[in-house]
Amino acid sequence: MTSEKRYDITVLSLLVLALAVRIAFLMMGRPLEDQIWSDMREYTVKADMMINGEWNAMHFFQSIGYSFVIVFFKKNFENWGKALAYFQGIISFLTVWPIFKTATEAFGKKVGLITLFFVALYLPWIVFINLALPETIFTFLMSLLAWFSYRLVYSENGTTKYAVAWSLSFLLAFWLKGTHVFLMPLFILGLFAIKRWKAVPNIITISAIFMAGVCLHGVLAYNTIGKFQLSSSTGGLNFIEGKCPIKNNRDSVGYSFLSPVYFQMGLFQEKKWGQPFSNSSYFMKQGLKCIQERPLVLLQSLEAIPFLFMGNTSWPMNQMSFSELARLYEQAMAILFITGLALFAVSSFNDPDRLREFVVWGLPVLSIFLCVYVFKSEVRYRIPFDVWFIPISMAGWIKKGPVFTGPRILEEIDVRANCDVRSIQTNIAWNELNVRIKENITSNRDT
């Protein structure tokens, strides 16, 4: 059996494993509809109100998109929870393929194969499929963004379709969550830095589709609550949580929020505000006042970046029966990610292709770092961005870090890849020689 055949069988086996693990978790885990509490309850209650034609400002506090997903399943399936869970299981399985393809094209077959192994068995993504939370669909859209980003940066022609797909993926994700909010402006700047004025048509396409999508959000808000609102209003609360000293906040209508990271730190002192949390502009102003009163918070907020990896446990996995084992898993992955990122960053410094590599892989990491610095942080915010963290870490460890030979199949993949590269280079040189010979013959005939 050839190494290429063994490689294909290994890929297929890992894909089957990814699907089997997700099906097993759905069959053996608690039903989704039995886990409706906290944020899960908020999404489902809003969906019930939407079905009954009842709307208020808190519908647009968290992103409205996932409540629409629940509305669809409640209207079309008697056992809506089971149908939603299996749908999310399929979406989680589909997430595996774009990550594998992107990692393989960017870093080679060895990195792609080991990335596939990790994402096939990645515990947080598996746990989220059985919860009424937007993370599963959001992560899938992040995987599409990774693939379309790679194609936009490395393709020379026919990139308009990738620009359209990139913007639609970003927009749909924006209707579900907002933690990727800084990725679009950063990516646009990166695309322009690489391709200069050739990038302008794609930048216009991306911007136009996104603006149309947020205007549609504004029209929906205006028609339902009488307020033109381009995005969710949770940003104001997140801002004061990150920048003000009191972390346990209650608004004027009785809503109370304490982020998991601050709960685990024991910061229970409560402050009651005279405005509802849906008044985002008010809370943004209050956050700015906190910065004026305590300017050092701008330095202190840097702690939000390590909080993506450590210092807190991932909610709601920390509420599961296997929470202790999950915590050990998180700690191991944190070490793997941080070390892999460091190895990748150091070795890429002198890489001649570092700008394109940074735009595709570095900017998503920078965007989540910037988001949690400006607002607040917890491990859960990083989990959808593991679409990028896992391949980068694998590349750092395998291609950039200490020598790692691995199983024989991986060694043969590297040998085959090197042979393919040499073959391509030989063919290019041979074609160039043929062109020169033909030019000389034509020149002699003319003479």
Tell me, letter by letter, the H, E, C secondary structure of 150-205.
HHHHHCCCCCHHHHHHHHHHHHHHHCCCCCCCCHHHHHHHHHHHHHHHHHHHHHHH
Confidence band of 410 (pLDDT split at 50, 70, 90): low
Q: Strand pairing partners for 362?
A: none
In whole angstroms, give the CA distance from residue 358 to residue 339.
18
Please tell me the distance from the alpha carbon of residue 19 to that of residue 95, in angstroms, as a whole number.
11
Model pLDDT, residue 401: 58
Strand partners, 256: 250
Tell me: pLDDT of 231 over 90: yes
Instruction: Indicate the pLDDT class of residue 199, thresholds 50, 70 and 90.
Output: very high
Q: Which residues contact 35 (CB under 8 A, 6 or more apart)?
A: 130, 131, 132
Of the pLDDT bands very low, low, confident and very high (cuts 50, 70, 90), residue 434 is low
Closest C-alpha among 219, 321, 233 to residue 280: 233
| Per-residue model confidence (pLDDT) at position 413 | 54
By mean pLDDT, which of 185-199, 218-232, 253-267, 400-414 is the weakest? 400-414
Number of neighbouring beta carbons within 10 Å of residue 375: 24
Judged against a pLDDT cut of 80, whether residue 418 lies above it is answered with: no
For β-strands 248-250 and 256-257, DSSP reports them as antiparallel
What average pLDDT score do residues 88-111 get? 97
What local confidence, expressed as pLDDT, does residue 444 receive? Answer: 46
Give the type of residue at 294.
R
Helices 39-51, 65-76: inter-axial angle, 10-degree rounding: 60
Instruction: Give which of 445, 335, 352 is closest to 396, Cα–Cα.
Output: 335
Confidence at residue 397, expressed as pLDDT on a 0 to 100 scale: 92
pLDDT in tens, 258-286: 999 999 999 999 999 999 999 999 999 99
Lowest mean pLDDT among 25-29, 96-100, 406-410: 406-410
117 neighbors 13 (Cβ within 8 angstroms)? no
Which range among 111-115, 183-187, 311-315 shows the weakest confidence by mean pLDDT? Answer: 311-315
H or E segment to which residue 104 belongs? helix 80-107
Residues 6+ apart with CB under 8 A from 292: none
Token digits of residue 264: 């685990």
Q: How high is the pLDDT of residue 423?
A: 42
Of 154-158, 289-293, 308-312, 354-358, give the lowest mean pLDDT range: 154-158
- Under 8 Å CB-to-CB from 56, ≥6 apart: which residues? 49, 225
Residue 270's H or E segment, with its range, is strand 270-272
Residue 94 makes CB contacts below 8 A (sequence gap 6+) with 140
Q: Specify the pLDDT at position 414.
A: 52
Q: 429 pLDDT exceeds 50?
A: no
> Using CA atoms, how far apart are residues 222 and 228, in angstroms rounded to an integer?
5
CA distances from 403 to 7, 115, 283, 395, 431 (A): 21, 17, 51, 12, 36
pLDDT recorded at residue 64: 97
Q: CA–CA separation, 255 vs 137, rounded Å?
A: 27
Sheet holding 248-250, edge to edge: 256-257, 248-250, 270-272
* pLDDT score, position 8: 95
Structure-block tokens of residue 247: 């972390």
pLDDT tens profile 158-171: 889 999 999 999 99
Q: What is the pTM of this model?
A: 0.90
- Contact between 59 and 49 under an 8 Å Cβ cutoff? The reply is yes
The overall average pLDDT reported for the chain is 90
pLDDT at 351: 82
φ/ψ of 254, rounded to 5, equals 105, -5
**Is residue 94 pLDDT above 70, yes or no?**
yes
Query: Phi/psi of residue 230, each to 5°?
Result: -80, -20
Q: What is the C-alpha to C-alpha distance for residues 145 and 364, in angstroms, rounded to an integer?
A: 10
DSSP secondary structure letters along 292-335: HH-TTHHHHGGGHHHHTTSSSPPTTGGGSTTHHHHHHHHHHHHH
In tens, the pLDDT along 26-59 reads: 999 999 999 999 999 999 999 999 999 999 999 9
Q: How many CB atoms lie within 10 A of CB 211?
A: 13
H or E segment to which residue 356 belongs? helix 354-357
